[in-house]
Structure 1
Amino acid sequence: MTQVDPHDGEQHDQGIGARLNWLRAGVLGANDGIVSTAGIVIGVAAATVERSTIATAGIAGLAAGAMSMAAGEYVSVSTQRDTERALLAKEKRELREMPDEELEELAQIYQEKGLTPDLAAEVARQLTEHDALGAHAEAELGIDPNDLTNPWHAAWASMSAFTLGALLPLVAILLPPAGARVWVTAVSVVVALAFTGWGSARLGQAPVRPAVLRNIAGGLVAMLVTYVIGALVGTQI
């Protein structure tokens, strides 16, 4: 009989930080693309039935949103990486200038985690001999020196995901006849948000139901608000 490892499916490799960074940027970009573009085109569709006007607004929103997401992710993750590099540089300097104090500090960290003083000191010594910076960075700072966040990865993932997400409501609003545009788009958006919520929860090993419900609720509120605004503006202009 095949034994099942209770830890099957858990991710322990060093690349998990980078993958989670991609996942975060990708899911955020896709959701934002779906919701923001749906809000734009539904709001415009509530004010006019001109397909060219709706298309222009949707395409402009897609382009502006994709560039905004990319720039925002790049700046945000660059700041995070700069902070990580500064902390690592400080740790390198401390290891070089006061190695004994750093070894004692590392041993103290492992004592606080439950190891006996002798075992903590031995673990700290062996880890320091193997990779001093890696051991101290992980224990003290929660940073893997070999897996720093990459701003370009986050920017491209966010921009690509936003574009793909935005294409769905844009196509959904343009293809159906005028009377069915809003309903077709709303249904398409709900299905898409349910899928991204499910996917993000599964990949992140989080509960699926709350993620799906949050995505759908946020999308519905956004579409409702922009539709009401579009309808009100359309009757006044």
Structure 2
Amino acid sequence: MTTFPAVLLDGVTRTYRSRAGEVHALRGVTHAFERGTFTAVMGPSGSGKSTLLQVAAGLDRPTRGDVRIGGKPLGPMSQTALTRMRRTSMAFVFQSYNLLDALSAADNVALPARLAGRRVDRDAVRHALGQVGLAEQARRRPAELSGGQQQRVAIARALHLQPEVLFADEPTGALDRASGRQVLQLLRSLSDEQGQTVVMVTHDPLAASYAHGTLFLADGQVVGRLDRADANQIAAAMSELER
């Protein structure tokens, strides 16, 4: 049986028009994010890492090239089909937690199912909160939780519908070091123990060191990769790119 990568970018180019002319955010990027892997994406400012995340998640369409999630091409899909796929096959965690203050942790986790018009499975909600170590906090509202706990609720919300891939954009950027470490350990354990595919954009070498591998971008191109590297090795590679 053929097993497709969780995310495949094949010759992806993204060009924007600006007053100054064309901006080449991505230039022929080809990369496969394999299932069950945790990959950090790094690069200098303007390297294209945020654009890569948006294109890979179907939030933006490439100018050229092909993007596939679980073997399914996003290119032919209508906006309605893309939206439906993002709600079921992809999940997102951002620097801001984007929790609704009026809802409990459990109701925040259940929100994507409600928005997708699906019946809320309370057992699945409890399981998702249990995955992030917050089963006992289900009834608490965001204001009653620490920043690290709120981000873990956001991760539980992302996991609730069992996505093919979890996209994270600077998920520890608003957290103190201890809370950030807990979130990164959680993302790594989700990949190692439960086979969750995680793609994380970060500027922090320490955060990237929790991933299985770090992909480096510069000028819209993949220029390198380090596997199982520590924070010092990743920082040194970034310093070379920023020269």
Asked if Structure 1 and Structure 2 have the same fold, meaning a TM-score greater than 0.5 normalized by the shorter chain, the answer is: no
Instruction: Answer 1 or 2: higher relative contact order, Cα 8 Å, separation at least 6.
Output: 1
Q: Name the structure with the higher helix share.
A: 1
TM-score (norm 2): 0.27
TM-score (norm 1): 0.28
Q: Name the structure with the higher strand share.
A: 2
